[in-house]
Amino acid sequence: MGKIDLTRALRINTQTGELRGLKGAGFAWVKPAPSGAFTPATLFARGEKGTWTTPSGFFADTEGTQPAALGEGVARVSDLGESGWHALQPDPSRRPLLGRAPKGGRRNLFTRTEEFNTGSWTRFDIASLAQDGPTSPFGAPSWTLVSSGGTARLRQFRDHLPNTDYVMSWVAKKGTASILEFGNQGRARFHSVTFDLDAGAVISNGSGDWNPQASIQDLGDGWFCCAVRYTTTEGFNPASSEAGLRWSTAAGDSVYLASAQLELGSEPTPYQRVSSPLDVTENGATSPAFLHFDLSDDALEAEASNGWFDVIMFGRAKTWLQRNVRIPSGGTLAIGPTTITGGADNLLSSLGGIVGWLAIDRSLTDPEIDDLQGYYNAFGAAAVMGVSQTEPAPEPEPEPKEPDSSDAVWTLEDATYLGQSPALSGSDMRTVEFSANGLRAYAVFRSTEVVRQYDLSEPFDIQSAAPAGNGAHDFSGYIATGVRGDSVAHGFFIRKDTGTTAWLWNRTEIWELTLSTAWDITTATQTGYLYLGATMSRGHDIDWKADGTRWFVEDRNNDRVYQWDCAIPWDVETSTLAGSYAIPNGDGVRGIELDPTGSRMFLMHTTAQEAREYHLSTLWDVTTASVVRAVDVSGQSGNPRSIVFRPDGTQFFVGDASSRRVHLYGPPALDGRTYQTTDGETFQTSDNKLFTVEK
């Protein structure tokens, strides 16, 4: 019987339990969980060290006897596991505050939405304003507004974005007056939006540069939701924008008011009561608790065991997994002021409110992360948005040395031509890219304005690509909306550890794409953007360091390779320039690839029609590059525009813009074919390496 290779398996399910892959420890037997929902305690079934927390462990005192109240400082977050890693803050001035908000987040941009007599609201020409009116549809007493004559105004200043849809709504009921009017400061943006609270009708949409459109909804018992949608324009001060009532009425006229809401969008949504930024509720929806860190000095620390840990922080805006966090003997797991132990600088600012965390002294598997996400979603946690990895080896990093063929397999040495793809459908093909397993290829077509994907019959077998492809991402709808204002896309990279994030390069700007289905470019949507025109002139291709902390792009006008560091791994919007390399004899460079060790860089020089190999004396630092060899591709490609390697370095691929073909190069003996043995049996190379079949 042949042997089965399980070295990359995560779980093997049986009728009585499962085998779960553990980093560096083979497989461990895990008893089936008792009937009922998953809890993080399941992950510690073999006595693993670590901690896990939820809002149920937020306390106002370090002893854990008094649950924290809303808006109060949290002195202790109790460890719900068995390790006793309770996170503490004895200093009251440095404690994060307890907040609450619906799982979907805050939509209402107003604050103090049922407290119209506070300083959050400005009031003019109002004789009296008291919360003594009839009970509103949302259960609280309404406010009686009595005008002193002229133009009664009740409003808030809220920042507005240009060219954006907003909806403002109020719940109102007629008093001695039945007419209600909306408007804003100066009247130029919108004014005279008028409602009849007797008939429940819109009298006028009003007028103004922001094109107001009114609507009214009957809530019963004489109450109405009066709303106005408007679209902002350019050329106004966002910080001085205000919205609210602007009511031309006679002295003594009154109306009942409740539940003010300002939100993004074109239609009013269910009302959210905002008592403060840390207290947001919504009828019919739960509002889970969270920790708010001021990013100045708020912090919690837990005494921790020494070892290597996976640490996952569950935030309302983002969730972050930090792999291989080293905690020394006598060390702590720290949360705040701006990051976590082992995390990137300013990490907490991207996570939003924190609902809990987990640390465990082994690697979490993908199914376990899915289980955790399902569990913490009930507390309002966001989906996992990022993973960063620290090198686990405790030994000091060896001194960099000049690489050779014995310590790095990526090289152009002895490369020969092996074949080509069919001509691919599209116009002006640029960068070519592959999925991590090599079963899908991608190509950017500049003139067609798509990234097309191709399903391959065998890993990296580009010759099996169907010319029409297997779906595409059309970027024509947004590529020209950036600072550049044109569509000259070239570079493309897809994240290899997840397949759910990709980046598209457009000469001097980079667009982040999020794929709702891993590796399927047809599910991509644009979610991030960065313009680098102050530094870059004519870039073409991009590549990333495997941990997401640095990325690279070449520039043929400047004859340079630039490297950018991300304060938050994989987040291009946090990029800062970390140096550049002046390319000798640039020769129209269009294409870049670095090997997995960071010791070698490969550039495609279009004008010279050759690929060149550079060695880096300092790992991942292109400023230390020097050219060592080149391969002429002119015999196959007259217009080469990209270069990409197989992960094992045995083959590389060159994309030609004019012929729309991908050319394959590599050692001829390692071509992935099936060979015949002398005794009549066959065997096949796996990732271009021989394996033995045992009977």
What DSSP line would sit under 316-370, residue for residue? SS-EEEEEEEEE-TT-EEEE-SSSBTTPPTTHHHHH-SEEEEEEESSPPPHHHHH
- The mean pLDDT value for 351-368 works out to 92
For residue 58, give Cα distances in angstroms to 93, 292, 321: 17, 12, 22
Q: Tell me: the pLDDT tens digits for 582-624?
A: 999 888 899 999 999 999 999 999 999 999 999 999 999 999 9
Q: Tell me: the pLDDT tens digits for 317-356?
A: 899 998 888 888 788 999 999 999 888 888 898 899 999 9
Residue 142 scores a pLDDT above 80: yes
> What angle (nearest 5°) sits at the alpha carbon of residue 552, between those of residues 548 and 554?
165
Q: What is the pLDDT of residue 19?
A: 36
Q: What is the pLDDT of residue 399?
A: 45
Q: What is the pLDDT of residue 669?
A: 43
Q: How many helices (H) and strands (E) would you count in the chain?
A: 2, 51
Q: What is the pLDDT of residue 36?
A: 53
Q: What is the pLDDT of residue 258?
A: 95
Q: What is the pLDDT of residue 372?
A: 93
Residue 29 scores a pLDDT above 50: no
Q: Assign 263 to helix, strand or coil.
A: strand
For tokens 């001695």, name the residue.
Answer: 176
Q: What is the pLDDT of residue 151?
A: 83
For residue 33, give Cα distances in angstroms to 36, 40, 195: 8, 11, 59
pLDDT grade for 81, boundaries at 50, 70 and 90: very high
Indicate the pairing of strand 384-389 with strand 319-327. Answer: parallel
Q: What is the pLDDT of residue 119?
A: 81
Residue 279 scores a pLDDT above 90: yes
* CA-closest candidate to residue 202, choices 210, 193, 211: 193
Tell me how far apart the alpha carbons of residues 200 and 214 are, in angstroms, rounded to a whole number.
Answer: 12
pLDDT grade for 189, boundaries at 50, 70 and 90: confident
Q: Tell me: the pLDDT tens digits for 447-489?
A: 999 999 999 999 999 999 999 999 999 999 999 999 999 999 9
- Cβ contact 681:692 at 8 Å: no
The model's pTM: 0.52
pLDDT grade for 188, boundaries at 50, 70 and 90: low
Q: Tell me: the pLDDT tens digits for 510-554?
A: 999 999 999 999 999 999 999 999 999 999 999 999 999 999 999
For tokens 């068995």, name the residue.
Answer: 82
For residue 533, give Cα distances in angstroms to 296, 482, 506: 32, 11, 11
pLDDT grade for 385, boundaries at 50, 70 and 90: low
* CA-closest candidate to residue 216, choices 246, 171, 161: 171
The more confident residue out of 668 and 600 is 600
With a CB cutoff of 8 Å and minimum separation 6, the contacts of 407 are none
Instruction: Compute the mean pLDDT over every residue in the chain, rounded to the nearest whole number.
Output: 85
Tell me how far apart the alpha carbons of residues 114 and 120 are, in angstroms, rounded to a whole number.
Answer: 11
pLDDT grade for 424, boundaries at 50, 70 and 90: very high
Residue 61 scores a pLDDT above 80: yes
Tell me how far apart the alpha carbons of residues 170 and 202 are, in angstroms, rounded to a whole number.
Answer: 14
Q: Of 174-188, 208-222, 392-406, which gets the smallest average pLDDT?
A: 392-406
- Checking 552-556 for CB contacts under 8 A at 24+ apart, the result is 552/592, 552/594, 552/601, 552/622, 553/491, 553/505, 553/510, 553/592, 554/583, 554/589, 554/590, 554/591, 554/592, 554/603, 555/589, 556/586, 556/588, 556/589, 556/590, 556/606
- The mean pLDDT value for 303-327 works out to 90
Indicate the pairing of strand 201-204 with strand 193-196. Answer: antiparallel
Q: Of 23-37, 504-518, 548-562, which gets the smallest average pLDDT?
A: 23-37
- The mean pLDDT value for 631-647 works out to 94
Residue 670 scores a pLDDT above 50: no
Q: Of 474-478, 495-499, 687-691, which gets the smallest average pLDDT?
A: 687-691
Q: Which helix (H) or strand (E) holds 684?
A: strand 682-684
Q: What is the pLDDT of residue 245?
A: 80
- Cβ contact 3:691 at 8 Å: no
Residue 673 scores a pLDDT above 60: no
Residue type at 305 in one-letter notation: S
Q: What is the pLDDT of residue 437?
A: 92
Q: Tell me: the pLDDT tens digits for 226-278?
A: 999 999 888 766 545 667 787 878 899 999 999 999 999 999 999 999 999 89
Q: What is the pLDDT of residue 63?
A: 96
Q: What is the pLDDT of residue 238?
A: 56
